[in-house]
Every structure is written in structure tokens, then in C-alpha cells.
Amino acid sequence: MIRFRLVGAMLLSFGLLAGCGGPDAPPLLADETVNLDTAYKLGPSDRLIVNIYRHEDLSGEVPIDGEGYVSLQLVGEIKAGNKTIRELEDDIATAYVEQGYLKSPTVAVQVLNFRPFFIEGEVNQPGSHPYTNGLTVQTAASLAGGFTYRANQSSFTLQRGGTKTEEYTVGPTTRVLPGDYITVHQRWF
């Protein structure tokens, strides 16, 4: 009888440790709700195509620099980092109107190349990897050479947009965005 109680107590404590992690554990989110922000936020190292309708001379490819700015003809630098594509389109149109170059421009912005995502921990090739549309944590691990034999393949830590953001505990089907930082932890047993 004592033996069964001891085993039960051990299983209960392991279950609580694995599921809870204590008061400082990152919040646990269901895979469907981890979208945090459904609209993609632009950031350094993204490469854009800016099209201004009927003004091909003002259109072209522009990178977002390390400070989060794009440099455009006539109007100069415009903040693009941490903005959605629609917000940047509006800001570009406003800049051309306010500086007196165009009356009512139609601006379209497309992302040509996304910044990479980062993965560390129990994968065979940790580091930065090129982002592709439709990426999940599971496919990100595959791009990183797959899991090591010690990897916990059901629970991961994700920092949306980089290492200086809030951590979330997510599952393998959670959507990955450019600039995300994924940590694959070791399993307990």
C-alpha cells in the first residue's frame, strides 16, 4: 500500500512539474491562439518592393535597414519597422502628398524577402534559417536538420519577433513568422 502511494506521489509530482513549471513559467497558449498579431509586422532585413501607380521612376526595391527605415526617392527615410504593410503604404502616400510631390498616390508594398527565423536547443542545425510561408514550429525544426534524440517534440518556447519579447509555450503546429525565436528544450525522461 505504501509502495503504491509513493509511486502515485512521484507520478503526480512529475506530472505537475512537466505541465506547470512553476510561477515563472511562460504562459501556455493553444496553437490556434498564438497568432498574437495576425498582421505581419515589418522589420530589419526584410526586402520590399514599393510600387507607386503611374510613377515607375519612384517605384523599386528597397531594404529595411537595421534601424527599421526605408529610403525612398524625393521623400527620404520613412519608418517601416514594426508596421504592417498597409500602415507603411499609408505612410508612404502621406509623405509624398505632404511634401508636395504627388496629389493622390496609390501605393502598393510587397515583401520580396522575409527576414529569417531563429531556432536553438535540441535541433541538429541551430541558428538562423530562411523563412517560407506556412511555416510551423514542426517544419521549422525540420529545416534545422530535425530534432535531436533528447528533444521535447511537443512543447516549445517561442518569442514572437525576437529575443527581447515575451516568451510563450507553444505546440508543434503553431505558426512561425519571420524574426521569431524558437527554443526546443530537452525532454525530462
- pLDDT exceeds cutoff 60 at 7: no
Least-confidence region, from 15-24, 35-44, 167-176: 15-24
Report residue 101 as a C-alpha cell: 510631390
Whole-structure pTM value: 0.68
> Average pLDDT of 21-34?
43
- For 43, counting Cβ atoms within 10 Å of its Cβ (0-12 exposed, 13-18 middle, 19+ buried), the class is buried
Please state, for a pLDDT cut of 90, what percent of the chain lies above it.
Answer: 67
> Average pLDDT of 49-74?
95
Specify the pLDDT at position 166. Answer: 86
Specify the pLDDT at position 21. Answer: 38
